[in-house]
Each structure stands twice: as structure tokens, then as C-alpha cells.
Amino acid sequence: MIKKHIILTICLIVNFLSAQTDSLVGDNQADLVAINTLLREAGSHLGTGYRGGGKTPAGFDCSGFVGYCYNTTLGIRTPASSSLFHNAGMHISIANARPGDVICFKGHSTSRRVMGHVGIITEVTPNEVYFIHSASSGGIRYDVLSAPYYKLRFMDIRRFF
């Protein structure tokens, strides 16, 4: 299982480097390095268990995971709670999303307009947005925006650098 996650992480990084470099031409080299560093850190925690309120590698909740990765690799502080992401960073349209952006979702209730879950985008293709997050079922894992659960709950994308 760990070997599968390592291979997936390597594939995502290689795919990111080859597919996303053209879309980052307007961005500086430091952004590209920061994004790669952030994604490596996030991927290194694959399989770490979910822990409500968790903010360390002993166990993460979703905002604790995002915050840990951003602070550890980039020195950027993000909100301590997923519900506070609506005013943090800069709003980015899905068409302009890039790896390293934070993807935000409603919580368990699709009828409420309150953010309740966040993750880090790892790859953007013309047909899909891939992200890594700490899920209450499964801990740190990769998912896709097109999955019915996430598609119904998608709210926003926020950029912090």
C-alpha cells in the first residue's frame, strides 16, 4: 500500500513538472520551487491517520494538514479551521487553479454554504482537478474533484502565494 502511494506521488510530481511548467511561465521560478516543495511535503504524509483537531504528523484534520504543509515548507500560516478559509488568501477561479492552491468544500451538509473541508491541489488537467487532503475516512489521501461527493460540495479555490 505504501509503495503504491509512493509511486502515485512520483507520478503526480513528474506529471506536474511536465504538464504544469507551461502554465507557470508567467510565474517566477521561486513559485515553481515552492509548489514542488509543498507537494513533496504533502505527499510524504500519505496514509497518516485522521485525527480531529490534529495538526501534527501524529494525525491531521483537514485544516491542520494544509496548515502544517504550508507552514513547514513555506512559512505561510493558514487558518486553523476550514470554515475560516472563505476570507483567507486570494480567490482563484477553477480555470486558473494550479497545484499548491487550496481547494475548499462544504462540510457534510450540501445545503449549508459554510466551508467544512480543505485540501491542496496537486494537479490540474483540462478535465480534472486532483488534490491531497486529510479525510475522516482514510486519513491523508488523494482524491479528484469529479468524484460525486466532492463535486457536490465544491465551494472555492484559494491561493496563498
Residue 86 annotated to the active site: no
From first to last of its 161 residues, the chain has per-residue pLDDT tens of: 454 444 444 444 444 444 444 444 445 888 999 999 999 999 999 999 999 999 999 999 999 999 999 999 999 999 999 999 998 999 999 999 999 999 999 988 888 888 999 999 999 999 999 999 999 999 999 999 999 999 999 999 999 99
Task: Give residue 27's pLDDT.
Answer: 59
Q: Measured between alpha carbons, how far is 71 from 137 in angstroms, rounded to an integer?
A: 24
Considering only CA atoms, which of 62, 72, 45, 44 is closest in space to residue 133?
A: 62
Assign residue 83 the CATH number of its domain. 3.90.1720.10
Angle at 135 between CA 131 and CA 141, to 5 degrees: 45
Q: Measured between alpha carbons, how far is 155 from 150 in angstroms, rounded to an integer?
A: 10
Residue 45 annotated to the active site: no
All residues at 6 or more sequence positions from 5 whose CB lies less than 8 Å from its CB, including other chains? 43, 46, 47
Domain range for 58 is 2-159
- Per annotation, catalytic residue among 45, 69, 104, 133: 133
For the chain, the domain total comes to 1
Task: Give residue 28's pLDDT.
Answer: 83
- Identify how many contiguous H helices and E strands the chain contains and give both numbers: 4, 8
- Per annotation, catalytic residue among 62, 91, 104, 108: 62
Residue 91 annotated to the active site: no
In this prediction the pTM is 0.83
Task: Give residue 108's pLDDT.
Answer: 82
What are phi and psi for residue 33, nearest 5 degrees? -65, -45
- Per annotation, catalytic residue among 45, 69, 104, 117: 117
